[in-house]
Structure formats: C-alpha cells, structure tokens
Amino acid sequence: MKQYAWIMAACLTAAMVSGCGVAQKGEAGNRSESTAASSERSGDAVPEGAEAENEKGATAVKLSEGEIYRDDFDGDGKEEEFSFTFEGDGKDNHNLELYAYTMQMNCDGLVYQKELYGGYEETWMIRSADGDHYLYQESYGEDLMHSVTVFRVTSDEIAEAGKAEGRIGDEGIQDVNAFQWADRIYMLGTYAGYRTVGVGADGLPEAKEDAYTIGWLTGPLVVKEGTTLTAEIFNSNGNPENIVLTTGTELTPKKTDGTTYVDAELSDGTMCRIHIETAEGFPHTIDGVDEHEYFESIPYAG
C-alpha cells in the first residue's frame, strides 16, 4: 500500500512530549538588546526586531533569542520587558522520542517554560489593536511539516492559546489582520497551499479566504489512456456546466479548499473544477473511483 507523508506526520505528533508552564520570578537567558540578522527564508523577508505595517495600535515584531522586547503588557501604562531563550534543536535530532526543544520565556520576571515538538524555526511577538499580546512560535518537523504554537503573554501570566498546523508565509507578518499562511495540502498531489489569515479573537490564525492558492512544482496531471474524467466549468453567468476530459488532457492544479475540490487550468487556459471525495481517507476518490485510475501519475509525497 502506498505510504503517504501524512502517516509519518501523525506518528510524530503522537510522539510529542508536552511541556509545562512555571510561574516564578527570576531572570531568563541573555538580556542583550542586539538584533539578529535578517530571516534566511526566501522572498522579501522582514528584518528581525523591525515592526511591520499595521493598523493603529497593532504591531508584529520578529524576535531573536535573548533580544529584549519592551511594551505595556498589562495596560497599566508602564513598559515591561520580554525575552526568550531555547535549548536543544529538533532539526539535529531524529530520535522521535527526543525530537523537541525547550522554550523559556520571561516577561517582567515571570518565567514560563514549554517543550515543543520539532526544531526551532522563528519567533514573532504580535500586539493586537486592542493591546493583547501573542507570541507566535514556529517549529519545523519531519517531512517539511510545520506548526505554530501561540502563547498569550501578560506580565501576570504566559499561557498557551493553541496550536496551528502550517507556517507563516515567506514575507513574514506585514499586517496582523492579513498575512500569508502556508499549509501542506494533499489533493491530487502533495504541495504547499497559501491563503491569507489574520490574528483571531483567541489569538490563533483565522482564515480570511476559503481557497488556497496551490504552489504546484511539477508538470501537469495527464488523463490516462482509455479514460475520461468529468469536471465542471463555470459559464458566463457563473453557473456550473459539466465537461468531459479525455485521454491525454493536461491540467495544472491552481486552487483548492483542501477537502472537496481542486480547480485546475487546462492547456488552453480554461479553468475547471474536479470534485474529490476525501472523507474515507486515502486513496481519495472521484465519483467513487480511486483517483489514481484517472491520471498517469499523481505526485504525492512518500
């Protein structure tokens, strides 16, 4: 049976060791105010320690280890100091039971420690327009799987708000209400899907659009010899019409909701929609038939 990367990811998640929060007064790590070099990611990276463009009162700052971030964390009109350090790096340790690193955060002497699955990737401090502070801690896992653990930060409490699968886009957080988010998608292949998110009321990333733009990196899908595939196109009135894709038809995935359909471009530029059944897991089906029966090959990872 074909092995998929998501199976490995599920096994790794099960092996994750949970950390704990410790509230105590004390110092944590280096108190230097130096700013680290710019992000190593591709694209127009946001320099660490630099605030992005946001609505009034909101900020997004990329932090480096030991760097001091000053702000009013409790609304009393006075600035408190926040910094973090980490120990271990899962990127260099492929023992699944130990694939983790420990974050230690300090806000005005309040110390919180948390063990996180994977390897350290990057850290952002976000302040909403309402003055709430959230730390976005991105981690790197096996098979290019990423996740972001979100912490709500005040001078009285640092608490985990939740965890989101995926990663912050290459351009960083330019606007706390609209920034790129990348997820790993498994629909007619394995690839990155990108959509706009913003910081929700609970601090977690909240989708601003339903469909992902697909980062397709291979050649087009090709309909198998002796096979036909029914797809949809939308006419000038916006109503769906069925078309039949015949042997040799080439199509390149462009958009998906990640669970029910893929919008693909044909070689003549026509956009069509293929409905996919995913509720039963892999292999996915189209009109009740294994999707592999329709295409010469489907580029799933694993």
Mean pLDDT across the chain: 83
Asked if residue 227 and residue 157 are part of one domain, the reply reads no
Are 154 and 275 in the same domain? no
With pLDDT > 90 as the criterion, what percentage of the chain qualifies? 71
Please identify, among 167, 201, 235, the residue that sits at the C-terminal boundary of a domain. Answer: 167
Residue 99 has a pLDDT of 78
C-beta separation of 105 from 170 below 8 A? no
Residues 139 and 273 in one domain: no
Q: Which residues of 208-218 are buried (b: 16+ CB within 10 A; e: fewer)?
A: eeeebbbebee
Intra-chain end-to-end CA distance of the chain, in Å: 11
Question: Between β-strands 190-199 and 212-215, what pairing exists: parallel, antiparallel or unpaired?
Answer: antiparallel
Radius of gyration of the chain measured on its C-alpha atoms: 22
What integer is the mean pLDDT of 36-53? Answer: 39
Same domain, 92 and 24: yes
- For residues 39-50, average pLDDT: 38
Q: Does 174 reside within a domain?
A: no
The total domain count for the chain is 2
User: Is the CB of residue 12 less than 8 Å from the CB of residue 117?
Assistant: yes
Q: Which domain holds residue 102?
A: 5-167
Decide which of 167, 195, 210 is a domain's last residue.
167
**Range scoring the smallest mean pLDDT among 16-25, 90-99, 113-122, 201-210:** 16-25
278 φψ region: left (φ > 0), alpha (ψ -120 to 50), beta (else) = alpha
> Are the C-beta atoms of 274 and 257 separated by less than 8 Å?
no
Which one has a higher pLDDT value, 157 or 96?
A: 157
pLDDT at 254 over 90: yes
Say if residue 113 is in the same domain as residue 237. no
Across residues 155-176, what is the average pLDDT? Answer: 96
Are 13 and 5 contacting, i.e. CB atoms less than 8 angstroms apart? no
In a domain, 48, yes or no: yes
Domain assignment of residue 105, yes or no: yes
In this predicted structure, the answer to whether residue 183 has a pLDDT above a threshold of 70 is yes
Binned at pLDDT 50, 70 and 90, residue 252 comes out as: very high
pLDDT of residue 188: 98
For tokens 């090959």, the residue is 297
264 within some domain: yes
Q: What is the pLDDT of residue 56?
A: 80
pLDDT of residue 92: 55
Condensed to tens digits (0 to 9), the pLDDT of residues 64-104 reads: 999 999 999 999 999 999 999 998 765 555 555 667 899 99
Same domain flag for 145 and 32: yes
